[in-house]
Amino acid sequence: MGKFLGRSVSILAYVFPFVEISYYFGAKVFLSVESTTLQYLYANYISKVSGFYEANSYLVFIVMVGIFMVCSRGTIKLTRFVRFNIIQAILINVLCSCIGSIFTLLPLWFRESVLGLMIATGFYLGVIVLIVYASLLIFYGLYPSIPVVSEAARLQVFRGYLEDE
């Protein structure tokens, strides 16, 4: 796998956490701003992706678990760099899912308050910044370092190589 293709696949894996965080927090964040451009962006693009995810969440989950297993076991000959970044993106997706699920369990009066909006916006923007950070480092061929998540991804990648021996 060439460098450009490997980096592109690694960056593309971050679509999972983007869709997950947009599913949970996208409507709240984009529809609460007064910018018609952001509302248009959400209504015409992001909401459609979130709608597809909502309608096919089990299919997306199965695909994601399959990709995770292939990358952690090393059954397809991908570089460690690509496997590490794909696993890291999936782990971030799992964190986004947990955060989103916990947020939906909070009382409605709290979620719809100003504090709830601030928390939702903080999580959404935090994950977007994390995705941009990781994508920029991947573009330059560097390993993104995210506390706890990177170590878990590193352990999965090397576990796959240990099983091959």
CB-count burial class (<10 Å; 0-12, 13-18, 19+) for 143:
middle
Tokens read off for 76:
């397809």
Distance CA 64, CA 91 (A): 10
pLDDT tens-digit series, residues 63-116: 999 999 988 887 888 889 999 999 999 999 999 999 999 999 999 999 999 999
Q: Does position 119 have pLDDT exceeding 50, yes or no?
A: yes
* Predicted local distance difference test score (pLDDT) of residue 156: 87
Tokens read off for 8:
């592109």
pTM for this model (two decimals): 0.90
Closest CA to 2 of 119, 82, 96: 82
CB-count burial class (<10 Å; 0-12, 13-18, 19+) for 78:
buried
pLDDT tens-digit series, residues 9-61: 999 999 999 999 999 999 999 999 999 999 999 999 999 999 999 999 999 99
